[in-house]
Amino acid sequence: MKRSLAKLPKCDFVPLKYKGPSYENLKATRRANLSPALTTYYGKPLALNQGYKQWLFDLDGKRYLDMFGGICTVSVGHSHPKITEAVNEQMSTLGHCSNVYYHPKIHQYAEKLAAKLPNKLKVIYFVNSGSEANDLAVLMARCYTRKSDIVSLKNCYHGMTYETMALTCNGYYKYPVPQSPGFFRTMNPDVYRGIWGGQNCRDGPVQTDRVCNCSQECEAGIKYLQQFDEELKYEFPKCGIAAFFAESIQGVGGAVQYPKNYIKGIYNRVSATGGVFVSDEVQTGFGRTGEHFWGFQSHEIEPDIVTMAKGIGNGFPLAAVATTPEIAESLTKAGHFNTFGGNPVSSTVGLAVLDIIEEENLQENSKTVGTHLLVELAKLRELSPFVGDVRGKGLMIGVELVSDKETKIPLDSGRFLKLWETCLENGLIVGKGGLHGNVLRIKPPMCITQEDADFTVDILRDALGKI
């Protein structure tokens, strides 16, 4: 018997009727007045009017389940009433105040955010985006260590400022201009596509389908660390590097997870030479991975610098860098100033987000619903010849699609886009990523339900059948 297509889970919210410019007018304005470099998704770009919790509504009022969260940014739900109320109250009191003056909210927020971090990370710098946070972390690392070489992983994404474009390692995000000096990339320890990897390497509910011969310690992790040791010998001066940057789970790169012992091994090696370890928590922070508030906690380390953005403000332009008092002191060698960082409104939003995560138990929801979703998605790997890998933790999930499971040749763009458009037609928004653009990125608002997760799996099962 043919399986009937799942229906969108119930939602009682009624969106406002759209009264703005027509779709065609928006299209014409975009063509005339917005940068052609701005990427849009789908054959007919989606035009949105309103959001509510995990739901988005287009100009015609059609409802979609948002399983991408504005690129892993909407953490507590679209248009959360607590954030709206707090912002309205703050705007009516003091909308902007530069940090050359005192204002209460930045102090309250810094104290509350620092309490969520390891004790040594007491100093917070507020900025406006993840790119800006990582750019500042590069400067901090170099000022503190008095070294220049920065190392990141291949397939990583750390931003699109001119400096972080060199830190990022994905050709799609690199312009044909000279890169900033002093940046190096090392082999990505991808246990699905990499040289080494097996079925017991990941810290998560779903493993690869590769054979694993590990005994007490992850063999793949040991080999990737040995490869990094070789690079330390040949590529860098004996004094060591300034910093190593890593996402706890690679985001734009396709939710790539490393061997369990890899990040801890890198941390120990970098620390031994006087370098600092920078954990990019732009996508993995604020409870998204479920078991922990920060992704680095899964790797059993305490970084020297932590960068964060996206979910920190639920879509509001807010980001931060947290570090030790000693590293923070190094930035006083020159004047440092940020016009908007930590302003009263952004600090108010940040405070509200922390409250909501705690009050609504969203970290636990990420763990419970995310684990259920991962397990159900893994079943699609057995049903479909196109699902090569399912990976992630909590609500930080990737589904890698391939044309052939043995060769792992990425699914061709034509079939991938057909699947992607089919999902949209049926009310499901998912993202895409990975070097070849063949990974479904699932990073929804952390308020989704198990019913939403089951709907997602049902729609993907149907879409996979159509390709």
Residue 194 lies in a domain: yes
Whether the predicted model's global pTM rises above the 0.75 cut: yes
Task: State the Cα–Cα distance between residues 432 and 417, nearest whole angstrom.
Answer: 10
pLDDT value for 6: 84
Interval 368-381 mean pLDDT = 98
Note whether 39 and 113 are same-domain residues. no
Note whether 47 and 94 are same-domain residues. no
Q: How confident is the model at residue 99 (pLDDT cuts 50, 70, 90)?
A: confident
Q: What is the DSSP letter of 3?
A: P
Torsion angle in degrees (nearest 10) through CA of 235, 156, 368, 305: 60
The residue out of 359, 391, 410 marking a domain boundary is 359
pLDDT higher at 214 or 33:
33
Note whether 387 and 334 are same-domain residues. no
Note whether 125 and 176 are same-domain residues. yes
Judged by DSSP in three states, 25 sits in helix
Note whether 343 and 388 are same-domain residues. no
Q: Which residue has the tokens 């933790």?
A: 393
Q: Quick one: residue 392, left, alpha or beta (phi over 0 = left, psi -120 to 50 = alpha)?
A: left
Residue 16 lies in a domain: no
pLDDT value for 212: 82
Please check the confidence at residue 405 and state whether its pLDDT lies above 50: yes
CA distances from 200 to 32, 266, 398 (A): 52, 20, 18
Range of the domain at 40: 23-72+362-466
Residue 14 lies in a domain: no
Torsion angle in degrees (nearest 10) through CA of 150, 152, 157, 160: 20
pLDDT value for 217: 81
CA distances from 20 to 24, 29, 48 (A): 11, 13, 11
Q: What is the CATH number of the domain that holds 295?
A: 3.40.640.10
pLDDT, tens digit (0-9, with 9 covering 90-100), for 318-368:
999 999 999 999 999 998 889 999 999 999 999 999 999 999 999 999 999
pLDDT value for 1: 43
Residue 127 lies in a domain: yes
Which residue, 385, 406, 386, 401, is CA-closest to 439?
Answer: 401
Q: Give the rounded percent of residues in the chain with a pLDDT score beyond 90.
A: 94
Task: State the Cα–Cα distance between residues 308 and 283, nearest whole angstrom.
Answer: 8
The mean predicted confidence, pLDDT, of the chain is 96
Q: What is the CATH number of the domain that holds 438?
A: 3.90.1150.10
Note whether 66 and 92 are same-domain residues. no
How many residues appear in the chain?
Answer: 467
pLDDT value for 326: 98
The residue out of 359, 382, 398 marking a domain boundary is 359
DSSP characters for 86-149?
Answer: HHHHHHTT-S---TTS--HHHHHHHHHHHTTS-TT--EEEEESSHHHHHHHHHHHHHHHH----
Note whether 379 and 408 are same-domain residues. yes
pLDDT value for 3: 62
Please check the confidence at residue 447 and state whether its pLDDT lies above 90: yes
The residue out of 327, 359, 391 marking a domain boundary is 359
Note whether 62 and 122 are same-domain residues. no
Residue 119 lies in a domain: yes
pLDDT value for 189: 97
Note whether 201 and 229 are same-domain residues. yes
Please check the confidence at residue 452 and state whether its pLDDT lies above 50: yes
Interval 407-419 mean pLDDT = 96
Q: How confident is the model at residue 167 (pLDDT cuts 50, 70, 90)?
A: very high
Residue 238 lies in a domain: yes
Residue 6 lies in a domain: no
Counting beta carbons within 10 angstroms of the beta carbon of residue 212, is it exposed (0 to 12), middle (13 to 18) or buried (19 or more)? middle
Residues whose CB is less than 8 angstroms from the CB of residue 459 and which lie 6 or more positions away in sequence, other chains included: 5, 6, 422, 423, 426, 427, 428
Note whether 165 and 204 are same-domain residues. yes
Task: Report the run of H or E that residue 276 belongs to, with start and end.
Answer: strand 276-280
Note whether 351 and 394 are same-domain residues. no
Counting beta carbons within 10 angstroms of the beta carbon of residue 227, is it exposed (0 to 12), middle (13 to 18) or buried (19 or more)? middle
pLDDT value for 216: 72
Note whether 101 and 50 are same-domain residues. no
pLDDT value for 337: 87
Residue 355 lies in a domain: yes
